[in-house]
Every structure is written in structure tokens, then in C-alpha cells.
Amino acid sequence: MMLRGALATGLSAAVATAGVAALAVTAGPVGGLRGAPGDLALAAATGCASEPDPTTYTPTPTPTSSPTASASPTAGPTASASPAKATSAPTATTEPEPTTAPEPVTSVEMVQANIKSGTVLKKFKADLRKVFRTCPDFVTFNEVPMRQPQYLAPTGYDIFRTPGQYTGANPVVWRTDRWVPEARGTTMISNKQGYGKGQHVMWGVRYANWVTLRSIDGKQTVSVVAVHIAPKSARTTKLLGPSIQRLGALVGQLSGSGPVLVGGDFNRHYKSSEYPRALLDAARLNAVYDLSGRYEPTGDHHGATIDYVMVRPAEAFSVLSQRTRELNSDHDAVVVELSLPEQTVGEPVISFSAGTTVNDPASVSQRGRSTVIRSIQGVVKAVPAGEELRVRTSSLDVRRVAAKLLAAARRGVTVKVVTGTTDSTTPERWLTKQLAEVPGSYVRHRPDAFEPGQTSSVLLASRAGITPWTSLSLDRGLSRTMVSQRTVLRLETKKKAYKKQVRAFEADAAPPSAEPTEPTGEPTAEPTGDAPGAEETAAP
């Protein structure tokens, strides 16, 4: 609360790291109004500081390679910016401030804002000033696929969404002075193609964007999801159940990192018989209205409450304040302040959701760079004994992935690996030797199965947790370039696609008429260098 009060008089412009090219639209350090002096850009663009005083805080003029030592702005006065007023006499204000640890995050403010598509720019900007007025930690937007990121994420904020009319409609925005992104992705919620009478967009096509964030002090990890459930119509009436189930699968997957917050327009009144309470309960998602015991209308919808902030698990949060904020849009903004544990913990992951996950090779966070590797490890770890795990990759050159595959084989998973390398990598040679001792599991080298110069990987799990037919694909081998270069991992859970890929795998894995001898000279111990499970370090 004290930090938010300080920010109400001027937010330091913490600069975000470079975003993901092509897939992610990242606002970075751009301000809503470039003409504003110094770090007053945020105040001018959003109203976050209603009466700013530029001498009461120290701006951050350039990007830094690592988070600043303190998450709070300098409270004391700064030296005059005018050289003419400088004097040679020393003053108390020139004493350096002692370095302090980042202020712990004890509460977060989240704003859910559906800003009606087609709102004129003047009213849209006015709505944004209200959204950012109290410097929220997180903002989830709806209906803004064509809005420019510098408006949606002004100075001091960053944004993620996958560009597109449907994939980009629901971005997630967060404060960069308090949170560092570790993972991000986009998940299909419903995909009913076609237009209803008089419609100019496909109401049945919906995507959720999500970001996993770690606090600057490293003690808390939360995921934030922005979603917009299809409204009720003749074409979309049967989409509610499957949409909530897909959202629940996504939240269950993200909960492995820590608590999850969901913001969105669900298009169903909180107290109506259509509110999907049973499905939300199954997903362990609770609206903050459940926690606070009260609700209010959220816009111009005949007094209905259709905009929500939801959390999982409920026991990790308590509602400190809850209110709506009138907008020019036909929706009010929902503004919620929630307590947050001093240290968060994740849940065992038992389900996986179709969608994309993308790394950020320019992230200051090692975990942000290794997002894709950690996602692969999470799926491999969740495959239960008695199931099958097939891996087809142009190259296996990540020690910790090889170690996870061996661990799966030793707990009873049948692990089959086909690689396209002519000269085996060290992890491949090690895994070949280890799997030779596990009946049914193997590593086979089939360079002829890959086009020259082709780099790709497919992982096929007959079951991961409670999710059957889990398929992962990426356009590079299982190498350390998954850390140093932009990488997109796509996860599918369709049975037909899974079966087709299994048939292709078995054709590649089939031994030729004369089975070649597996490479010799394998090491008798684990690969040298980083131990399996240690963090990979890749050259930028």
C-alpha cells in the first residue's frame, strides 16, 4: 500500500526487456504521450499520477541489464536539473542512498477492462487514464486487437499478446518495476467458425493470452490470464462448457508455477442459472465475488455482472478492496486489490492445454529465456508409468532434457527417441547407452528421415497427467538454441493429429533391412559440464 501511494505521485519508468519478435507484441518503454517531460509520460498518458512533482523521484533514463535494487521510487528530493543553480558547497541531499533489497510484494492490484471495440480514440484514451489511475500491477484487456501497444502499455508497463484479430484481442499488461516475465503464451478457448446475422467478427473464435511473472525479489510467481468468453447466440450457445474446460486446463497447467489470476468478460451474469459454477469449481477457479461476499453491476447490461477477476487457489488470496470504475465503454472496469503470500508455491501439474508457449531470448531472467525447455520438461515429468513417450528431433543436445527422458524410462515409461544427427551429440550417446538397459526404450539415429538443413522436434505422450494424446512441436532441435533464439512451442491434444504423428514416427523409427550398429564410444557416466537438471547457459 505504501509503495502504491508513492507511485501515485510519480512512477519510475522501469524499462522492459526486448519482447518476442513476430509472435509477441511488446510495448516496452514507450509512453502514451511522448511529449511529456521525463518520467511524467506515464502520468500524462494514464493519470497514474494526478499531481506529479518531478523533484520527488529519480527516473531511470536508460535500460538496465538487471532489475534495480529497489522496487520503490526515491522518496527524497533530487538535485536540481538546472546547472546554473548548482553550487560547490556540499549538501546533505548529495549523500548516496544505501542499497536496499527490493520491497516485498504483499498485495497486488488488478484491473479487468473491456474497452468496447470501436470506441473513438478520445474516449478510449480517457478510459485508459481511468484504468491506470492507481498504478495497478496487472491489467487484462478485452476487445482491443487493433489498439496500439503504446496506448495499452505506457511507460513503466509491458504487454503480451499474439498479434491478430482474434489472438490479439485479450492482452495482459504488467508493471515492469515489480514483475519480470518468465513465460508467456496463447491458448485457444473456442473456435466456432462463421458469422451470425449482421456480425462482422466471428463471435465463436476466442483466445486467451497469459503471462507467468516473478516478483523482483524472486519470492513470488504468479500467472495472469486474459480471456473473453463468447456471448450467447444461436451459433455460440454450446460453446460455454468447452470454453470453461479449456480455460480450466490452462489454469491447471499454469498453477504448477504458482497462483493464477484470470481477468475477463464471461458474458454470463454472476447470479444467473447460466453462470458455469460447477465447471469453475472443477477448475478450482473462484471469482473474487465469492471471496468478498458481494458483487455489483459491471456495465450497461441491465444491471448484470459479467466481468470478472478469478483466482486459483482461493486460499492464497484475500480481497483487500473491490470496486468498479465507470468507463466510456459499455463495461465498467473491475478493480481488485488482493493480498499475496510472502512466498508462493506451485501445485502438481496434472493437465495440459492446447496452445503456444514462447520464450524471450532477450529476457534479463534466465527462466524467461528457458521457458520452452522448462515446458518440455514439465510434460515429460508428467507422463505416468505404463504410458509411451516418443521423441523425434533433428538433434538432442540439452543435457537436462536427456536426463528427464531417462528418469521417465526408469519409472516405467516406454521412451523411444529418433534423432537426425549423423555424429551423435554427447547427450545422445549417453542416453543411448542408458536406455539400452531399459526394455522397450531406445535411441535410434535416422538422419535420412530429416530434410537437409531441417531442424524440428516433436514429442508425443500417450498421456501427460490426466491429458491424453499430448503432442508438442517446435521448429528447431532440442538444442541450446531454444534458450538463445526465439522459440515457439505448440501443444495439441487432438487424438486424430496424435495418431497421425505416431504413425509417422514409427515409420521413421523402423529399422532398415540391415540395422546399423549404434554409435560406439559412449561415455559410461553422465555428460560432462553442467549436471542434468542444472540451468542451461547459452551464448546470446
What pTM was estimated for this model as a whole? 0.74
pLDDT at 526 over 80: no
Per-residue pLDDT at 529: 40
Q: Identify the residue with better confidence: 194 or 281.
A: 281
For CATH 3.60.10.10, list the domain ranges present in the chain: 107-339
Per-residue pLDDT at 440: 95
Q: Cα Rg for the chain, rounded, in angstroms?
A: 25
Q: Identify the residue with better confidence: 334 or 202.
A: 334
For CATH 3.30.870.10, list the domain ranges present in the chain: 370-509
Give the full edge-to-edge strand order of the sheet including 172-175: 157-160, 172-175, 138-142, 107-114, 333-339, 319-325
What lies within 8 Å, CB to CB, of 156 at 6+ separation is 11, 12, 13, 14, 42, 48, 135, 175, 176, 177
Burial class (CB in 10 A: 0-12, 13-18, 19+), 31: buried
Per-residue pLDDT at 514: 52
pLDDT at 54 over 90: no
In whole angstroms, what separates CA 257 from the centre of its chain? 11
Per-residue pLDDT at 97: 54
The whole-number average pLDDT for the span 6-23 is: 35
Query: Among 169-178, 183-192, 517-526, whose mean pLDDT is lowest?
Result: 517-526
SS3 content of the chain, % helix, strand, coil (to 5): 25, 25, 55
pLDDT at 1 over 80: no
Per-residue pLDDT at 351: 87
The whole-number average pLDDT for the span 84-88 is: 36
Query: Among 47-56, 158-167, 321-330, 360-369, whose mean pLDDT is lowest?
Result: 47-56
Protein fold of 107-339:
Deoxyribonuclease I; Chain A (3.60.10)
Residue with cell 487493433: 146
Q: Given pLDDT bands bounded at 50, 70 and 90, which one contains residue 138? A: very high
The Cα 18–Cα 37 span in angstroms is 23
Per-residue pLDDT at 100: 64
Per-residue pLDDT at 519: 53
Per-residue pLDDT at 201: 84
DSSP lists the bridge partners of residue 442 as 416
For 96-118, what is each residue's pLDDT tens digit?
Answer: 455 566 777 899 999 999 999 98
DSSP 11-43: ---PPPPP--TTT----TT--S-TTS-GGGHHH
For 473-515, what is each residue's pLDDT tens digit?
Answer: 999 999 999 999 999 999 999 999 999 999 999 999 987 755 5
Q: Are 409 and 441 in contact (CB under 8 A)?
A: yes
How many Å from the N-terminal Cα to the C-terminal Cα in the chain? 38
For the domain made up of 370-509, the CATH class stated in words is alpha beta
Q: Given pLDDT bands bounded at 50, 70 and 90, which one contains residue 299? A: confident
Kindly report the average pLDDT of the chain as a whole number: 81
Query: Among 3-7, 271-275, 291-295, 298-302, whose mean pLDDT is lowest?
Result: 3-7
DSSP 406-474: HHHHHTT-EEEEEE--SS--HHHHHHHHHHTTSTT-EEEE-GGGS-TT---EEEEEEEETTEEEEEEEE
Per-residue pLDDT at 392: 97
Query: Among 39-53, 241-255, 260-274, 408-422, whose mean pLDDT is lowest?
Result: 39-53
The whole-number average pLDDT for the span 375-404 is: 96
pLDDT at 37 over 90: no
pLDDT at 41 over 80: no
Percent with pLDDT over 90 in the chain: 65
For 453-479, what is each residue's pLDDT tens digit?
Answer: 888 999 999 999 999 999 999 999 999
| Number of neighbours of residue 277 by Cβ within 10 angstroms | 16
pLDDT at 182 over 60: yes
Percent with pLDDT over 70 in the chain: 76
Per-residue pLDDT at 48: 59
Q: Given pLDDT bands bounded at 50, 70 and 90, which one contains residue 27? A: very low
Per-residue pLDDT at 302: 85
What b-and-e string marks burial along 291-317, b requiring 16 or more CB atoms within 10 Å of the CB? Answer: beeebebbbebeebbbbbbbbbebebb
Per-residue pLDDT at 164: 94
Per-residue pLDDT at 18: 31
Q: Identify the residue with better confidence: 165 or 51.
A: 165
Per-residue pLDDT at 200: 79
| Number of neighbours of residue 386 by Cβ within 10 angstroms | 11
The whole-number average pLDDT for the span 230-250 is: 90
Which candidate, 399, 503, 502, 397, places its Cα nearest to that of 459? 502
pLDDT at 518 over 80: no
Q: What distances in angstroms separate CA 39 from CA 1, 48, 52, 68, 424, one per listed residue?
A: 21, 12, 10, 16, 54
